Amino acid sequence: MKMKFSLILSLLLVISNLALSQSYNFGTYNIKFDDKNDLENLWIDRSEHLFNLIKFHQMDIIGTQEGLKNQLEEISKSLNFPYVGISREEGGEKGEFSAIFYNPEKFKLLENKTFWLSTSPEIPSKGWDAALNRVCTYAKFEDEGGQKFYVFNIHYDHVGQQAREESSKLVLSKINEINNENLPVVFMGDFNVDMENNAYKIIVNTGFKDSRSESQTPHYGDIGTFNGYNWNKTPENIIDHIFINKGITVKRYGILTDNYGKKYPSDHFPVLIELTFD
């Protein structure tokens, strides 16, 4: 009887350790909105390549930016992944989303919400000196081993510097407010700023770390994330970031420059990290 109990206990410990060491691939990807006027880079021509990129790199959770409803539905159907989020415009259906896709075989969705990056975050609104409405979509998940965590996905304004700085402050404040269990948090998206910008520094000075600098293996890929569909120019600045807080280990970090015939699936490169929960 004692031997049987010991065997069961050993098996439970093995299962527990496997769950704790499970790694996942998280990505942030500005997929470029479905621009019917950009005849050289139509969504209908590049979409399949974008789907295949995500599948090949086995992304488990993807924070997307700029996606319109039709694009999100196509991604969801191709990957067989649900997504959460509403658009930044009134009504929540038309306009661009900052949606989060997730693998339903690995994660259980516990809650989700979208708020606006403005002084009135609960209603559709434009903040500070921003040119456009901007949103943050967040979700709380639970993995196969019972680990709970949050994902916050944003798209900062491309014009207003004050808006970008205040957006960092707002999202950090919301994370502190929402994450009252002190769970691991992945904070990612298209920040429209490089590592020298104050909007970036506000984040890394308040407990979050850039996954690029935390990777256990040397970071992989280009020195920039905005390619502008320009094959002949090397991107100069990383403006798409994935930040992590305590309780997360980053095993790998990469900027993925996959292409098809000297064309890119989007005007941004996706950023991918492989992580484990401590």
* Residue 180: Cβ-neighbour burial (10 angstroms; 0-12, 13-18, 19+): exposed
Domain ranges, ordered by start, for the chain: 24-277
Sheet holding 61-65, edge to edge: 83-84, 100-102, 61-65, 23-30, 271-277, 248-255
Q: How far apart are CA 94 and CA 87, in angstroms?
A: 6
Q: Residue 4 region, left (φ>0) first, then alpha (ψ -120 to 50), else beta?
A: alpha
Terminal-residue alpha carbon distance, the chain: 34
* Tens digit of each residue's pLDDT, the chain (278 residues): 554 545 555 454 444 454 457 999 999 999 999 999 999 999 999 999 999 999 999 999 999 999 999 999 999 999 999 999 999 998 888 999 999 999 999 999 999 999 999 999 999 999 999 999 999 999 999 999 999 999 999 999 999 999 999 999 999 999 999 999 999 999 999 999 999 999 999 999 999 999 999 999 999 998 899 999 999 999 999 999 999 999 999 999 999 999 999 999 999 999 999 999 99
pTM (predicted TM-score) = 0.92
Give bridge partners of residue 241 from the DSSP assignment.
189
CATH no. for 24-277: 3.60.10.10
